Structures are given as C-alpha cells and as structure tokens.
C-alpha cells in the first residue's frame, strides 16, 4: 500500500479542487505529523505492506513548480522513514491534476516539461538524501480524457432581453454541473451549418429550473443562432458525464465514439423508462 500524504501545497484551478493543502478531508498531513504517525502504524501491522508514498495536489494545475515542491517534501519524508525505521520505500506516486485548456489561449500544463523537471528534481533530491530513486508514478486523468470528448447540444430557444441574449439548450447542469459548481468556463461554437452573420455575446443556458443553470456566459455565437441549431462544446471528455445527475428527469446523454468518419454508440441515452425502472412506488 501507499500512504496518501498531504504535502501542504496549494495548487489547482479552484479551491474546490485543491487537495494538497492541510486541514481538509483528503490524506494525512506532513505538517502536523499525521503522515509520519500513519507510517509508523502501518509498519507495525504485519499484514500490511507499505511500498511508498502518494499525493495528489489538486486538479487543473498549470505550473510544474508545485510538483517539484511535492517531490522535495515527499523525498524528505522518505529520508525520515529510512532514518526512523531503517526502511527504503521503493515507490512515489505524484497523482494527477495536469491542467488542460478549456478556452482558446488558456494555459495548460507542459507535460514534457513536467516529466523532465520532475525526474531531475527526484534524482537530485534523492542523491542529496542518499536515497535510491524510487519508482515514479503519475495519474493523469483529465489531461487524457478531457480533450478527447466534445459535447453536442441542440438549441431549444433564443431569448433577447435587451441586455442579454440567452441561448437555451437541451442539456445543462444535469449533464455538466461544473460551471455552476466552480465557475468553469467553456467555449461553445455553432456546428452543422455555416453562418455569415457577425457574432454577438450570448449566455448559453440549460433547461433546468434554476437561474444559475448557465453553461457559458459572455461567449460569442453568430447573431442568427436559432432553435434547432447544434452547439459543440470542446474538452468535455472528463468530469462531465461522470458528474451527470438525474435532475429534472432530463436523462443522461448518450456517448458516441467517432473515428475516421465512423460513429459507434458506446452508452445509450437515459430514457424515462430507465428512470422509472428504479422507482418502486408506494
Ligand atoms: C488521487 C487522484 N489521482 C488523479 C486524479 C486525476 O486528476 P485530474 O483529472 O485532474 O488529472 C484525481 C482526481 O480527483 C485523484 O483524486
């Protein structure tokens, strides 16, 4: 087993997805000695095999520096484990959190830079502590799955209030709660037809019964956007369907795999019958 260590490092796109800071639900703190205490307890259990340390600093991290700080702190702990217990732990898992761009021009983590610098830092810190270099693991999640997915919405209605244009679509916070949860911004675009009409700022909203059901505010779409149009939202392959809910009985969307002009249904659309099937009744 690995011990999940909280190294006391603030990194990540939003407070709700920062998991490397002290005094929160994840992991065992390095700062207050909880991690060291847990290591001693695990080593005292003959049926448990401790093979290393783990951390996950958070999500949407766009800089390499926090990972380097984590390496230094965790190698410091590996050195203390060896001093106190005479054991050299062979594994170090740095978690994931590699940030991706949701909007054009947004920063993303340079994963090649991450690989080079983390390995150099690990080698340097281990050499300074007289430790062998442990087996290094990383857990990329969104960086792989996120850019692989695009969500498609059908426009249901367009409403102009004078100060805003609201473009309502056939999904919303039940298939993607992230904008409402922690203000994630997306870049929807019109697909399926060309428009020569200049773009104008619009708010893309969902069909759920909350005014906060906003998928993207202040984005630009052609001024003739109308019911029946299709909107595509890139970078929807992670934390989208997996966070979907049954809110307002809208039903979870299908998932279609597309490659080289071929499409295959992977997950079918959730129907009212699916929802009713679980309802046992009075
Ligand atoms: C322990 C652990 N590893 C990896 C990940 C993947 O994170 P991301 O998708 O931000 O790369 C998570 C996400 O919560 C996690 O909790």
Do 151 and 178 meet the contact criterion of CB atoms below 8 Å apart?
no
Cβ–Cβ under 8 Å, residues 232 and 150? yes
Q: Tell me, what's the pLDDT at 15?
A: 86
How far is CA 240 from each of CA 37, 177, 209, rounded to the nearest angstrom? 37, 8, 19
| Ligand 1 pocket member 149 (CB < 6 A) | no
Hey, is 196 helix, strand or coil?
A: coil
pLDDT in tens, the chain (282 residues): 999 999 999 888 888 889 889 888 999 999 999 999 999 999 999 999 999 999 999 999 999 999 999 999 999 999 999 999 999 999 999 999 999 999 999 999 999 999 999 999 999 999 999 999 999 999 999 999 999 999 999 999 999 998 999 999 999 999 999 999 999 999 999 999 999 999 999 999 999 999 999 999 999 999 999 999 999 999 999 999 999 999 999 999 999 999 999 999 999 999 999 999 999 988
Q: What is the pLDDT of residue 10?
A: 87
Q: Which of 48, 120, 209, 265 is catalytic?
A: 209
Which atom of ligand 1 sits closest to the CA of residue 61? 10
- Ligand 1 contacts CB of residue 61 (under 6 A): no
The CA distance from 252 to 136, in Å, is 37
Position 227 scores a pLDDT of 98
What is the structure's pLDDT at 24?
84
Nearest-angstrom CA–CA distance, 57 and 138: 12
CB 89 within 8 A of CB 38: no
Phi, psi of 213 (to 5 degrees): -80, 70
Q: What CA–CA distance (Å, rounded) separates 42 from 49?
A: 8
Choose the residue to mutate in 4, 19, 59, 62 for probing ligand 1, maximizing ligand atoms within 8 Å of C-beta: 59
**Probe residue for ligand 1, chosen from 6, 25, 53, 56 as the CB with the greatest number of ligand atoms within 8 Å:** 56
**Cβ distance 175 to 153 under 8 Å?**
no
Which residue, among 90, 21, 32, has the nearest Cα to 56 in the 3D structure? 21
Q: Among this protein's residues, is 209 annotated catalytic?
A: yes
Q: How far is CA 55 from the centre of its chain?
A: 16
Q: 203, exposed or middle or buried, with CB in 10 Å at 0-12, 13-18, 19+?
A: middle
Task: Calculate how far, in angstroms, residue 15's C-alpha sits from the geometric centre of ligand 1.
Answer: 15
Domains of the chain listed by start with CATH number: 2-143 (3.20.20.10), 149-276 (2.40.37.10)
Instruction: State how far the Cα of 68 lies from the Cα of 138, in Å rounded to an integer.
Output: 13
pLDDT at 282: 82
**3-class SS of residue 43:** helix
Task: Determine if ligand 1 sits within 6 Å of the CB of residue 142.
Answer: yes
Q: Which helix (H) or strand (E) element contains residue 136?
A: strand 135-137
For ligand 1, is residue 140 a contact (CB within 6 Å)? Answer: yes
**What's the gap in Å between 97 CA and the centre of ligand 1?**
6
CA triplet 60, 64, 69: central angle to 5 degrees? 110
pTM over 0.95: no
Q: Please provide the distance, in angstroms rounded to a whole number, between the alpha carbons at the two ends of the chain.
A: 46
A 10 A CB-CB count for 84 gives 12
Picking from 66, 72, 73, 71, the residue whose alpha carbon sits closest to that of residue 12 is 66
Decide: 20 in ligand 1 pocket, CB within 6 A: no
Dist. CA 249 → ligand 1 center (Å)? 29
């Amino acid at each position: 087993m690995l011990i999940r260590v909280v190294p006391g490092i603030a990194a990540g796109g939003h407070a709700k997805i920062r998991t490397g800071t002290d005094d929160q639900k994840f992991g065992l703190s390095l700062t207050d000695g909880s991690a060291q205490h847990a290591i001693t307890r695990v080593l005292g259990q003959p049926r448990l095999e401790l093979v290393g340390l783990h951390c996950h600093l958070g999500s949407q991290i766009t800089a390499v520096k926090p990972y380097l700080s984590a390496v230094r702190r965790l190698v410091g702990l590996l050195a203390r484990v060896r001093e106190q217990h005479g054991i050299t732990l062979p594994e170090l898992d740095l978690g994931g959190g590699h940030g991706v761009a949701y909007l054009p021009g947004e920063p993303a983590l340079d994963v090649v830079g991450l690989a080079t610098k983390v390995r150099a830092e690990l080698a340097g810190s281990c050499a300074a502590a007289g430790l062998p270099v442990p087996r290094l693991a990383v857990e990329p999640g969104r960086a792989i799955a996120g850019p692989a997915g695009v969500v498609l919405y059908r426009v249901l209605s367009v409403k102009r209030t004078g100060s805003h244009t609201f473009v309502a679509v056939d999904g919303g916070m039940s298939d993607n709660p992230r904008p409402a949860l922690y203000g994630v911004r997306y870049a929807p675009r019109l697909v399926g037809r060309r428009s020569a009409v200049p773009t104008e700022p619009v708010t893309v909203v969902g069909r759920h019964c909350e005014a906060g059901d906003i998928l993207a505010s202040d984005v630009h779409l052609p001024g003739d956007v109308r019911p029946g149009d299709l909107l595509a939202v890139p970078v929807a392959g992670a934390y989208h369907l997996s966070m979907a809910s049954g809110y307002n009985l809208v039903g979870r969307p299908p998932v279609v795999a597309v490659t080289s002009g071929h499409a295959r249904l992977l997950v079918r659309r959730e129907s009212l019958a699916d929802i009713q099937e679980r309802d046992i009744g009075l």
